[in-house]
Amino acid sequence: MRRWLLPLMVFVLLSGCAKEMRYSHEEIKDYPPEIQEHIKAGEVVTGMTLQQVRYAWGAPTVVKVLEPTPEGRERVQWEYHRWGGSFKTILRFTDGRLTEIVSTEPGIAK
């Protein structure tokens, strides 16, 4: 009866590690080559658009609309909570472009 337990646990662990596809080649083909490479690598960098970040990392855990800048520019904050909330990355966008990365996750460029 317990023979199925270990293979099931291995399957569940490995399927959780599989990288999900969040975009198709067709959707990113018109982006600059360096942006395409960041998306394929699952990386975000300042200057990316909301859609490019979504292709790279998927949907955020939390979205907040922030107060506009003094010049009236729109601001949005995306939060990604990973590993059960152990790590948190905040991405701030101004006028639809990533302008700030704040993270407690190792390996995330700030």
Q: Provide the residue ranges of all domains of the chain, joining segments of one domain with +.
A: 21-103
Fold held by 21-103: Beta-lactamase Inhibitory Protein; Chain:B, domain 1 (3.30.1450)
Structure confidence by residue, pLDDT tens digits, 27-58: 999 999 999 999 999 999 999 999 999 999 99
The DSSP call for residue 90 is E
Closest CA to 46 of 93, 80, 81: 93
Query: In this structure, how many other beta carbons lie within 10 angstroms of the beta carbon of residue 4?
Result: 8
| Cα–Cα distance, 70 to 50 (Å, whole number) | 22
Structure confidence by residue, pLDDT tens digits, 15-29: 444 456 688 999 999
Neighbouring residues of 56: CB distance < 8 A, sequence distance ≥ 6? 22, 38, 39, 41, 42, 43, 44, 48
